[in-house]
Structure 1
Amino acid sequence: MTDPGIGRRSFLRAGALLGALALAGCTATPPDSNATASASASGSQGGPSATFTFATAARPSGLDPALVTDTESHRVTRQIFEGLVGVDALTSAPTPLLAESWTESEDGRSYTFALRKGVTFHDGEPFNADAVCANFERWYHLPASARGVGNLAYQSVFNSYSDRPELAVYKSCTAVDEHTVQIDLATRLTGFIPALASPEFAMSSPKALRQFNADALSSEKDGQRLSEYALHPVGTGPFFLESWEGDEVRLATYPDYWGERGQIAGIVFKTMTSPESRLRALKSGQVDGYDLVTVADVDDLARNGLQILQRDPYSVLYLGINQAFPGLDNVKMRQAIAHAIDKDALLEGLFLNGTKQANQFVPEKLGVSSGSVTSYGYDPERAAELLKEAGYKGAELPFHYPRHVTRAYLPTPERVYAELSRQLTAVGLNIKPVPVEWSDDYLQSVQRSGDRALHLLGISGTYDDPDNFVGSLFGSYTEEFAYDDAQLLSKIDRARTLESGPEQTEAYTAISDRIATRVPAIPLAFPISALAFSPRVAVYPTSPLLNEVFNRIELREP
């Protein structure tokens, strides 16, 4: 059955997007075409039979959803794993998934979940209340050696682990009976249910977690330290891992999946780091689709009668500032950098039409008004004055940016860096380019301490709550910004306990303004992201939260 939200969004012919990629609800019939070379025909009888090949911009960093933060890893793990809570395809609101329903106590500190019956993990183990508690307890007791450099989702949402229980929001998990589980919190957490829809809170087989020693990073792949479990993931999702070799990850349909298995029997994720290679692969029929369409792709897609499907914006690109770098602890230096940036010029020709300037870190979709948030207009003269007031003498500022990657928030990093560097240099800043290959662990390299003044990065939202953005980035001290602000932390902690409504919205507006005035980072854009597909694809489950599971893909008959 076609999800009504998916059907409404539908597909756009690429030609319709040449003027503006801001249209979201139109349909067009693609031209007749043979099925792609990578895909077999979908059978109308029996189980799934089609193979779907998808080009990705980077290799996964690991397949343990709790320990990865990058979207390409979660693109794969979303097929293998499921959480208690899902995402509504039309509104992005939380919906039942492995939990059929839940209730909240009056004080907002206890939740009781009624679990779906008849669900098994891919290793045959039953999904039940004990399994839920095993996962929550694993996250809570995660050893420091397994946490990496950046904030994992568990810490962003629940504040702390078992080694700092006085700070932890999570309190306990109780298996009431086989299919009922109770989660107790130390304080009200308004975003608790939306947060459980994040891929990081997917349910793993407790047996597999033990068997593959999930919390010991004893293996290595592509230069990343991983656990054996990150190479042998076991969830309840519609697909299981067949193999992960080099640039290819292969998944197969799980025969005992509790839900609708759909048409896709096998998925092949192929890593192609350049937009040009992904475009060529789609045109030649090597792949059925790819994500992260760039401005340069659109004309070619149109000429070849291929399809583009856009998402509503739910990511933010920012310029990170490391206050541990000499001079950048001076707020006037950071304000000067903010005034030096011409966001109109930055967006022109580098982002898909429909991309908007950002002056805060909370996307418009979440209803936090930016009108009351301090904004730094493009003012190179004021920037130069502030640099002089800050006593800047022309010291070199290393600017880190990624190479050979495309992200939802950063389609062409080299070109974005070049434009920002031009603007910053024009006001008198001495910028030193530091290109870093994304595959050389760029993400962690800019989140640890080091000789770094500025860096390009962004965040793609995974659940429907402002804390997903401001809490993830600024809810605790990180080496990425070296920004220590007890007042901001207090404001974020308070906002997370407020019920949804005007008071909470006002609290997040005040948080956004605090971030803007202190300038630990500069929000640049809320980018539009888009995917491209062959005419064979009739329906793809697009989601601003990237909750795109391939059993919901519908294919046309060849």
Structure 2
Amino acid sequence: MRRPPTSLGLFSLAGLMVLAACGGSPANDTGKRPAAGGAPTAGGTLRLAVHSDAGCVDPHQVTATAFITMTRSLADSLTDQDPATGKIVPWLAESWKVNDDSTSFAFELREGVTFSDGSPLNAQVVKANFDKIVELGAVNQTGSSYLAGYAGTVVASPTEFTVKFSTPNAQFLQATTTTSLSILSLDTLAATPERRCQGAVVGTGPFVFESYTPDQNVMVKRREGYGWSSAAAEHSGDAYLDAINFRIVPESGVRAGALISGEVDAMLSVEPQDIQRLDAEGLTIYSRPSPGIPFHMHPNAADPVLSDLAVRRAIQMGINRSQIAHTVQGPDVEGARSVLSATTPMFADLTAMLAYRPDEAAKLLDDAGWRAGGDGIREKNGNRLTVTVQYEDKVSTSTPALELAQQQLLDIGIDLRLSPMTAEAYDAARDTKQYQLRWFNFTRADPDALRTFFGSANANTTNVNDPELDALLEKVASISDPEGRATAAKELQTYILEHGYAFPIIELSQTNAAAPDVRGLAFDSTSRFVVYDVWKAA
């Protein structure tokens, strides 16, 4: 089963606006690739500029978009997800069966699959992967959250196994499409997390790891004899490229300049200000909205100030999302419409709940006893209404978006302060709950993305013990019926917004670019580039 060509040229509205203004001719939104211009040819090295160094090359530990394209080239998953339909399709597993209450998932593996070290893939190896992910816990926080309630894997034969859960886990099948649950060799599982981060990684993928130089690049080379591509891929057999050089180039303008000059062949994360000049140079722009949780401010609801529901609701009402999106992303782009992005399956459009209502917000704060001081900042019992948002300043829209939110909240007497941080400091504050607000997004094509961060049994970034929230999260995770699950997902999204557990602001689109001779680039269901089908025209 092969999907139609993936969604390329699906420009963000901002990208469409820019290209229309400068006379560009983007592909339409039918999901068709730009014309291939001939049959694929093998050979060559793709030089791909990425925007950050994740500090790790282990598919189980990496969650940064900049490196997931690389880790996906090394490791396959049991299943894949068609980006056009959201349907789960075969990959390492050729078939599966789920019981009625989603506590038992029986899989049958393809035969003849091997890891790049020559060792065979079998059901026992899959079991070892899931056991290890659960054992390591926070080392693969995302993967372990997908395996919540894991009761073990029962191996029936070298190709047959059943994954069991103590409670319903409807999201698990989709989770098997992710790199967080990709299948690695037994030797990889035996290595320490630190060694795996530095390159002790062996998968079944079409490329093999060659080298990693921090802050410079990662090199992978084609694996010979690859014969088990995903049903969502465009071809079978070996990858076309000889190798890929993932060059780490943090500044968007520098990446764009390198692409224009021919120093690199493609780049990830094109910023809005670079789209017009790339198009003017005849380069191809690819864009697709990211599913999952949009960029938002995530409150620590146990904080003395943010524990006040009136404050959280006032923040929700006091943000003009459209103004922020128009300013930092383009005049035709709207702000976030829910705590899930619009491309996420079971997204509920809750625009009305996120309407800009500064007068209502001010009255809410008045009624809660927060009175404006001499400088306009509200106070209560001698405490100023000051909150600080922590963020990694690695996306160009983050600071301007937060500065606009800062101005808007100041109008209702809330003093929002911005705290850009290094990745290490940001993660340390998360782990110790030393924050008031956190700014981030999360990519996953399933509403269960919310369970990763909300709920007392998970990361609990909100830092609350809310039994009703926990029940709603488990409801979404447990319902197998798609219609019933969509209803539960809407109920969950509504509850999170009503209680001010998240302040969604802007959605993220993955916008990348490539030279005209780079063919076969495609986005997967999480809006990340897949390099298996890529080839370079002569």
TM-score, with structure 1 as normaliser: 0.83
Residues 155-198 of structure 1, C-alpha deviations (whole Å, 9 max, x = no match): 32232xxxxxxxxx211212211122222222332222111101
Residue 507 of structure 1: CA displacement? Answer: 1.3
Which residue pairs with 1:436 in the alignment?
421
Q: Is the 8 A contact 2:221 2:242 kept in 1?
A: yes
1:249 matched to 2:221? The reply is no
Determine whether 1:237 maps to 2:237.
no
Q: Residue in 2 aligned with 1:200?
A: 180
User: Which runs of structure 2 are paired with 1:180-219 in the superposition (5 Å)?
Assistant: 180-210=160-190, 212-214=191-193
Structure 2 counterpart of 1:135: 129
Q: Please tell me whether residue 155 in structure 1 is matched to residue 144 in structure 2.
A: yes
Tell me, yes or no, if the aligned pair for 1:352 and 1:528 is still in contact at 8 Å: no
Q: Say if 2:116 and 2:203, in contact at 8 Å, map to a contact too.
A: yes
Aligned to 1:50: 44
In structure 1, C-alpha distance between the alignment counterparts of 2:43 and 2:330, rounded to whole Å: 35
Q: Please tell me the root mean square deviation across aligned C-alpha atoms, in Å.
A: 3.0
- The code of the aligned residue for 2:116 comes to H
Q: Secondary structure at the match of 1:495?
A: helix
CA contact (8 A) 1:82 1:237 kept: yes
Do the aligned residues in 2 keep the contact of 1:129 with 1:179 (CA within 8 Å)?
yes
Amino acid at match of 1:233: V
| Per-residue deviation, 1:22 | 9.9
Q: How many residues align?
A: 508
Whether the aligned pair in 2 keeps the contact of 1:244 and 1:250 (CA below 8 Å) is yes
Task: Note the alpha carbon deviations across 1:288-318, whole angstroms, 9 max, x for none.
Answer: 1112222111211122111101114424111
Specify the SS of the correspondent of 2:259. helix
The one of 441, 444, 447 aligned to 1:458: 441
The Cα shift of 1:352 comes to: 5.3
2:19 is matched with which residue?
Answer: 18
Q: Decide whether the 8 Å contact of 2:451 with 2:458 is kept in 1.
A: no
1:158 to 1:551, Cα distance in 2 relative to 1, 3 A: closer
Tell me if 1:511 matches 2:496. no
Using the TM superposition, give the Cα deviation of residue 330 of structure 1 relative to its aligned residue in structure 2, in angstroms: 0.3
Structure 2 residue 97 is the aligned partner of structure 1 residue 112: no
Between 276-285 and 520-529, report the one with greater CA deviation: 520-529
Match of 1:343 among 321, 324, 332: 321
TM-score of the two chains, using structure 2 as the length reference: 0.86
The 8 Å contact of residues 58 and 196 in structure 2, kept in 1 or not, is answered as: no
How many Å apart are 1:367 and its aligned residue? 5.3
CA 1:521–1:8: 2 relative to 1, 3 Å: closer
Residues 301 and 547 (structure 1), Cα distance of their counterparts in 2 relative to 1, 3 Å cut: closer
Distance 2:492 2:180 in 1: 25
TM-superposed CA distance for 1:245, in Å, is 0.6
Question: In the aligned structure 1, how far is the partner of 2:188 from the partner of 2:290?
Answer: 36
Alpha-carbon contact 1:75-1:546 (below 8 Å) kept: no
Q: Is the 8 A contact 2:510 2:527 kept in 1?
A: no
Report the AA paired with residue 251 of structure 2: S
- Cα gap change, 1:371 to 1:64, in 2 (>3 Å): closer
Question: 1:222 is matched with which residue?
Answer: none
* SS of residue paired to 1:299: helix
Q: Distance in 1 between matches of 2:329 and 2:27?
A: 12
Unaligned runs of 5+ residues in structure 1 are 33-41, 160-168, 215-225
Aligned match of 1:291? 268
What is the match of residue 117 of structure 2? 123
Q: Which amino acid is 1:399 matched to?
A: V
Note the C-alpha offset of 1:283.
0.7
**Structure 1 position 555 matched with structure 2 position 536:** yes
| Counterparts of residues 266-345 of structure 1 (less than 5 Å) | 266-315=243-292, 316-345=294-323
Per-residue deviation, 1:82: 0.8
Note if contact 2:66-2:268 (Cα within 8 Å) is conserved in structure 1.
no
Contact 1:477 1:483 in 2 (8 A): no
5 Å-filtered alignment, 1:10-89, equals 18-19=19-20, 23-25=28-30, 44=41, 48-89=42-83
Give the counterpart of 1:103 among 91, 97, 101: 97
2:353 and 2:411 map into 1 onto residues whose CA distance is 21
**Residues 539, 416 of structure 1: CA spacing in aligned structure 2 closer, same or farther, 3 A cutoff?**
same
**Does the CA contact (< 8 Å) of 1:354 and 1:528 recur in 2?**
no
Using the TM superposition, name which of 118-127 and 372-381 deviates more.
372-381
Shift of 1:125: 1.0
Name the structure 2 match of 1:37.
none
Query: Equivalent residue for 1:5?
Result: 4
Distance in 2 between residues matched to 1:334 and 1:15, nearest whole Å: 35
Q: What's the CA shift for 1:326?
A: 2.1
Q: Aligned residue for 1:35?
A: none
What is the deviation of 1:276? Answer: 0.9
> Would the aligned equivalents of 2:298 and 2:503 in 1 still touch at CA under 8 Å?
yes
- Aligned amino acid, residue 147 of structure 2: F
Q: Which residue identity does 1:518 align to in structure 2?
A: H
> Aligned partners of 2:29, 2:247: CA distance in 1, in Å?
27
Q: Which position in structure 1 is the counterpart of 2:451?
A: 471
Write the letter of the residue equivalent to 2:454.
F
Residue number among 382, 385, 409 corresponding to 1:424 in the alignment: 409
Name the SS of the counterpart of 1:66 in structure 2.
coil
CA contact (8 A) 1:11 1:539 kept: no
Distance 2:165 2:515 in 1: 47
Is the Cα–Cα contact under 8 Å of residues 173 and 182 in structure 1 kept in the other structure?
yes
Hey, what's the Cα distance between the residues in 2 that align with 1:466 and 1:31? 35
- 1:448–1:480 CA contact under 8 A, matched in 2: no
Query: Using a 3 Å threshold, how does the CA distance of structure 1 residues 61 and 92 change in structure 2: closer, same or farther?
Result: farther
Aligned twin of 2:232: none
* Amino acid corresponding to residue 307 of structure 1 in structure 2: T
Cα separation, 1, equivalents of 2:472 and 2:6: 40
Cα separation, 1, equivalents of 2:32 and 2:152? 48
Cα distance, 1:486–1:106 mapped onto 2, change above 3 Å: closer
Q: Tell me the SS of whatever aligns to 2:60.
A: helix
Is 1:537 aligned with 2:530? Answer: no
Q: Distance in 2 between matches of 1:466 and 1:11?
A: 22
What is the SS of the residue equivalent to 1:101?
A: strand
Counterpart amino acid of 1:396? Answer: T
1:107 shift after superposition: 4.5
Structure 2 residue ranges without an equivalent (≥5):
229-236, 371-378
Matched residue type, 2:156: V
Map 1:373-412 onto structure 2 (within 5 A).
Answer: 375-392=353-370, 393=379, 394-403=384-393, 405-406=394-395, 411-412=396-397
